[in-house]
Amino acid sequence: NAPKSFFRLLLSLSLSPFSPRSRFFRFLQENMESTGNHGGIQQLLAAEHEAQQIVNAARTAKMARMKQAKEEAETEISEHKTSTEHGFQKKLEETSGDSGANVKRLEQETSAKIEQLKNEASRISRDVVEMLLKHVTTVKN
């Protein structure tokens, strides 16, 4: 009678009826009641083997989920990287097109300023020559 109450106590401590621990204790209880105490070691070994298989299956499932999550993350990272690179190339093309137009506009402005300075210099060059001659030829006592 003591083993039955012990197993019932252990079963009541288990959180889930489907957890490996509760299945293990239920297996022990059923087998201990049906066979008495004969072959208890064999039953324990069989229960331990079943529990180990359950743990291994859970570990394998966890590893598969981890691998799948890693692959999904790598795919998402790759897609984000491609999208970001595409956006960068698009912006680069847009700005380089503007830069060519800016260079052309600046060249035109520079040419216009140079022409303006040449015209101004040719207009006042006669006055500058006369002023220089006047200062050179004037004698002061």
- What pLDDT score does 129 carry? 87
pLDDT band at 123 (very low <50, low <70, confident <90, very high): confident
Higher-pLDDT residue of 141, 66: 66
Cβ–Cβ under 8 Å, residues 24 and 47: yes
Q: What is the mean pLDDT of residues 113-140?
A: 89
Higher-pLDDT residue of 53, 14: 53
**Given its phi and psi angles, is residue 140 left (phi above 0), alpha (psi -120 to 50 degrees) or beta?**
beta
Domain boundaries, the chain: 39-105
**Which own/partner contact pairs does 108-112 have at CB distance under 8 Å and 24+ positions apart?**
none
Higher-pLDDT residue of 138, 78: 78
pLDDT band at 141 (very low <50, low <70, confident <90, very high): low
- What pLDDT score does 84 carry? 95
Q: Which residues contact 27 (CB under 8 A, 6 or more apart)?
A: 43, 46, 47, 50
- What pLDDT score does 79 carry? 95
pLDDT tens sequence across 69-105: 999 999 999 999 999 999 999 888 777 766 677 788 8
Residue 25 class from Cβ within 10 Å (0-12 exposed, 13-18 middle, 19+ buried)?
buried
